Structure formats: C-alpha cells, structure tokens
Amino acid sequence: MNRIPAVARIAHVVLIVLATSMLTMSAFAASRSMTGYVTVDNPSAGVEGGPGVFARKVGGAGPIVYPPTNGARSISVAGTTTGTFVGRQLTLPASELNFSGVRVRKFPAFSNVAGGTVSWMSVQPAATFAESGGALANCPGPGCTSSGAGTVISWCPPVTHDPIAPAPGTIGAQVGNWDCPSWPAAAGGGDRFMRMGISNASGRANFGGTFLLLRNLVQNSWRVPVQPSTPNASDAEVTRTFMVVNSQAWTPGRSNFQFTALAGNNGPRLFARLDASGFIQSTFGCTNGVGTNGGNFMEGVPIPNAGSNCGTDPAPMLDGQGWGFKMTTGTISGSDPYPFGLVVTTVGGTPFNPNFGTQPASQGFFFSRMGTDNVTGTGPGANRNIVLLGGGVAVDPASGNAFFRISDLRMTLSVPEPATGLGLLAGLGALVGLARRRKA
C-alpha cells in the first residue's frame, strides 16, 4: 500500500486548488478576437475622426474603401456559459483601438466656413459594455420626456451652457427642451435649433456604456467673414482659428447630457482664394498689410500658432460647446435647419456609404444611425456582431454653426466561447483521484 506523507498531501491539495482557481477565473474573462472599426462620424459633413479599421475592409467600391489599418484586436468577454449570446458583457482593454491620421474637410453647405484640417492621434481607454449600461438605461428618468417618465430621449440643447445648471436639469428646471420632436420645436424657448433623439426597440435591454475616446490633435478651422468679389477672386477674407488638444474625450460616448468645452485660439486674418465648393485654395498675406501669418497655408497641414499682428481678433475666442450621450445599440437620429433638404441614413450598417435623399426644405436636415447586437451562426462557427453608437451635439460659436457627432464602434467577436466549467471539473477530478489514492 502506497503512503503519501501528510505534508506532501497538503501541498498537493493546495496546488490543485490554486490551479483550479486560476482556470476558473480565466473562464470568467476570456480573450476573444475582434475585427471591426471605430470612427467619429459627422452626419452633415462626413467622417470626422478616423477610421481605425482592424483586420477588415469596410466601405464600397471606388474611392470609399477603407483597408485594415491594423490587425485583429483582443477583447475580454465575461460570463460562465460555453456559448455566445446577445447582451453578454465585454471589456475593451486600453489602447486596443488607437488610431491616427490627417483629414481635410470641406463644408460646401456652409458659405461662412472655408474648410478645416486636423491631424490626430486617438487613444482608447479601457471600456466595459453591458446590459443596463447604455444611453437609455436610466429611462424613465431625467431627460426622458418632460415628466421624466418616458423611454426615449428627444432633446434640443440650450443656446448657451449654464455652469450652475448641469444638463439635463430637473423636471421643474430643464436644461434644453426634453420634448423636442423636431428642430422647429425648439423655437422661442432659449433652445438651439437642432434635435438629438435616442430610441430602442420595444422590450430590448439597454446594452452599452461610456466610451471616452481621447483626442490628441492639431486642428485649423477657416472661416469667411468677407466673401470674394467674384468667383475665384483672390480678395476673399478668411480667418484661421486653431486648437492644440491633448487627451480630451470626444463629445459622443460620454455620460448622458455631459457638457464639455473645447478651447480654441484666434489666428490671422488673410486674403484668400476659394474654390467652387468654398474651400480655401491659397492665401495672400495679412489683410492689414503688416505682421506675420504664423505659417503659410498648405492643404493637409494644420498650423499650430497665431502669427503676430496680422489682424488677429483681440477678443478671446469663445469655447466650443458639446453635450454627449452613452453608447447604445439602439437608434440615434437628429435634425437641424442646415443643410436644407438633405436626408442621410445608414445603408447596410455602415456610415461610409450613406444614402442621400431629399425632403421638403422646411424640414431641414435629417439623419439616422442604427446600432445592433446579434449572433450569427451556431456552435464553434458563431459570431457576435455589435454596433455601438454614441450621440453628441457640438456648437461652434465663432461661426454660429451647430452639428452632430456620432461615435461608431463596430465589432465582430469570434467564438467558441470558453468552456468555463472545465477548470473546476479538472480540479475536482484531481481531488477525487487523491482521495482514492489515500484509501488504497
């Protein structure tokens, strides 16, 4: 009969328990392969930041093609079952979806804007998405219709931010208009002419959470205080403002109604030539004839300084304003007066090939984006497809323009999911074997 010394038996049991614990713990947060992309979409003017495309081409034929910018990413999936399912909690480790780039933007619908250039590096902190964590998780509640009893958000922001009255306010002192079915409904109440709506299919859980995509950027915005005397003339007057931003979270993806200010700097006032779309082509020196411009215009290269004595507005530049909303798998929609007649809706689940339609000009601009959380296939070949959207409203006081920002995060998670009971079963089997050996 074999004998195991008592000390050895205790050590053996301790090792088995530790191994069992480690195997079981790993099953509660198993790593999964993710392909997809993240970007910030400005529905009235195109993609604003990004995209970061991870191991999958998105978009259509021709120039609207976005090849992968990096390989598949790793995401932690929580739970104890062997299969995948809608609503399962997941965690993005920090910096998995970082991306960088340069973008030149044109605004043909806005004659007082001559374009913009931004160079960015976006950094993604850790984020967790789960049931009852999305934008509508607190509905009924403040901001969900005037009584707080609704299950949707339909909101027009205030004209100016009141620092002592944080949005969304209270039932008796609302910030903005809690019952705003369309942008004209904001008229006359101190609210801005634009509407942000968030809804979800009846009976669906409110999956989502915050997603604080951090911006590091240099950005130029060119405005047109004086239009050219004739098309292609070199006597248009433009002003350049600039931002140098470090680690500031995008407006969309923040906690619901969270306000953020974005400081900018006044730059020079220059003579310029504009193209047919109103985009700046070239500049021709300071309008006051003296001073320095801080850097010559070059398409795609933002200028991070003001220059000297070049007609720079001495009044401090007003901060940009923004309000954000948590990520959701529901539907985000919005409307405002400009540009008149446009309807932009998602086609095939991607903002890169939007459908442009028209509606009566009196209804202004309208857009919608739809999120989702679904599983395709079964067993080891199943995939979970998630589209998480974060709504946002931004205001540029210098030009008077207001616009929407949408954070768009799309993921396909590969399975199989972990067989979480295997670690525990293996440990129990070893313990049973030891017990039998002691009886021998």
- Yes or no: say if 157 and 192 are a contact pair by the CB < 8 Å rule: yes
Q: Nearest to residue 369, comparing CAs of 399, 325, 433, 413?
A: 325
Within 8 A by CB and 6+ apart from 6, the residues are none
Residue 420's closest CA among 91, 89, 83? 83
What is d(CA 407, CA 222) in angstroms, rounded to the nearest whole number? 24
pLDDT value of position 8? 47
pLDDT digits (tens, 9 = 90+) for 75-121: 888 765 656 788 989 999 899 999 888 888 888 877 888 999 999 89
Residues of the chain with pLDDT under 50: 1-4, 7-8, 10-27, 348-349, 417-440
**CB of 208 closer than 8 Å to CB of 386:** no
Give pLDDT, residue 318: 86
CA 338 – CA 423 distance, rounded (Å): 59
* Cα(74)–Cα(91) distance, integer angstroms: 9
Could you tell me the residue ranges of all domains in the chain? 25-136+200-421
Tens of pLDDT along 335-354?
A: 888 776 666 666 544 555 55
DSSP 23-71: HHHHHHEEEEEEEEEEEEEETTTEEEEEEEEESS-EE-STT-EE--SB-
Question: CA-CA distance, 36 to 19, in Å (whole number)?
Answer: 35
What is the biggest distance separating any 2 CA atoms in the chain, rounded to whole angstroms?
Answer: 107
> Of all helices (H) and strands (E), which one includes residue 129?
strand 127-129
Cα radius of gyration rounded to whole Å, the chain:
27
Nearest Cα residue to 242 out of 271, 277, 266: 266
All residues at 6 or more sequence positions from 254 whose CB lies less than 8 Å from its CB, including other chains: 210, 212, 260, 324, 325, 326, 390, 392
pLDDT at position 419 is 39
What whole-number distance in Å separates Cα of residue 40 and Cα of residue 388? 12
The pLDDT tens digits of the residues spanning 391-432 come to 999 988 877 778 899 999 999 987 654 433 333 223 333 333
Distance, in Å, from the CA atom of 272 to the CA atom of 270, rounded to the nearest integer, reads 6
Please name the residues in contact with 340: beta carbons below 8 A apart, sequence gap of 6 or more.
Answer: 361, 364, 365
Q: Which residues of 404-430 are buried (b: 16+ CB within 10 A; e: fewer)?
A: bbbbbbbbbbbbebbebeebeeebeeb
Residue 346: both structure tokens together = 């998602």
